Structure 1
Amino acid sequence: MKRALATAAALVGAGVAVRRLRSRTAGSGPEPNRWLTVTVNRPPERFGELPAPLARLADHVEIRTAPAPGGKGTELAARLRESTAGGTLERLTGDDPRQRVRQALREAKSLIETGEIFQADAPATARRTPGGKLVALATRRAGGEGRL
């Protein structure tokens, strides 16, 4: 019974947080097709061909490269070709196409710099408790969210 109440309380709290976030950012968020950019630790002349994660999205995204400021590598940027109206619900469910672009940029950076795609280890706190479930959910969603 206590576990069910704790889970319900966590879900209600998450719903309140989403509503507050939505009300604060309604109409003030970034345009949906802005450029997402990562800086790769390789000079432009040694950049090579497009990495597989971005090549898979090549039909859906525009890609550009430019020397990074101060000669510190290469800026790799991508944005969706079509306008999307993805909002908070799409982001929370993992259906926002911008998440795929973010993840592809992270994976491309990892491939270019190290030759492999690094994956996060499973969190040690992802037990079958309400808090552990939230940690596991956040970990699954983290690849497509956040700052690049």
Structure 2
Amino acid sequence: MTSALGSVASLAARAGGTVVRQVRSVFEHGNGAGPVKAPASGWLVVSVYREPTEIDPRSLPAPLAAYGDRIETRVRPAPGGKGTELAARLVQRSSGSASAPARLTGSDPQADLRSALREAKQLIEVGEVLAVDPAPHGKRNATPAGAALEAATKRAPEGGVL
């Protein structure tokens, strides 16, 4: 009986820690946008392990090409000769307060562009978008820690996991 109580207490402590980290992240990074805050310039940048001459800004991978004229792109050497910086930004961006409802409904254009940029990086480097196989768990009991994990996993393509 004591080990069961200790197990429940341990699980509750981990769930509480997760909640505290999420709340701190919101307060530390501004208006509740989550752990990733867009730079003021709007440019989102990834480092690609390829030479700048190997990346043609006129023929971008499909995730970025789908944006067409709605984005600007920039390709330049990464600092220290470590590959290439691939940058993209939306031509017409909404203000931070106007995009808060979009984030709540799951239709944030900045988050979608961030995801497309990461997918383009993977296509350039390895030729395919890598996907994690679903966890082989079947039906899982609902626990606070499990719910936090599911929420973080769902948001990962848009803004990354803490």
Q: TM-score, normalised by structure 2?
A: 0.66
Quick check: 1:94–1:141 contact (8 Å CA) kept in 2? no
Alignment of 1:31-70 (within 5 A): 34-48=42-56, 49-70=59-80
2-structure distance, mates of 1:62, 1:24: 25
Quick check: 1:32–1:83 contact (8 Å CA) kept in 2? no
1:84 CA drift (Å): 1.4
1:46 CA drift (Å): 1.4
2-structure distance, mates of 1:84, 1:124: 40
* 1:33/1:120 CA distance change after superposition, 3 Å: farther
- Greater C-alpha radius of gyration: 2
Alignment of 1:82-101 (within 5 A): 82-85=92-95, 86-87=99-100, 89-101=101-113
* 1:78/1:24 CA distance change after superposition, 3 Å: closer
1:37-92 deviations in Å (ceiling 9; x for gaps): 001011011124311110011232111111111222110000111121323x5334
* 1:76/1:134 CA distance change after superposition, 3 Å: same
The equivalent of 1:3 in structure 2 is none
RMSD: 3.2
- May I ask how many residue pairs the two structures share in their alignment? 133
Q: 1:139 aligns with which of 146, 150, 153?
A: 153
1-structure distance, mates of 2:132, 2:60: 24
1-structure distance, mates of 2:155, 2:106: 7
Q: Does residue 30 of structure 2 align to residue 25 of structure 1? A: yes
Q: Which amino acid aligns with 1:110?
A: Q
Q: Which amino acid aligns with 2:26?
A: L
* 1:137/1:76 CA distance change after superposition, 3 Å: same
- Which blocks of at least 5 consecutive residues in structure 1 are unaligned? 1-5
1:30 CA drift (Å): 5.0
1:96 CA drift (Å): 1.1
Q: Which amino acid aligns with 1:144?
A: E
1:34 CA drift (Å): 1.5
Secondary structure of the structure 1 residue equivalent to 2:47:
strand
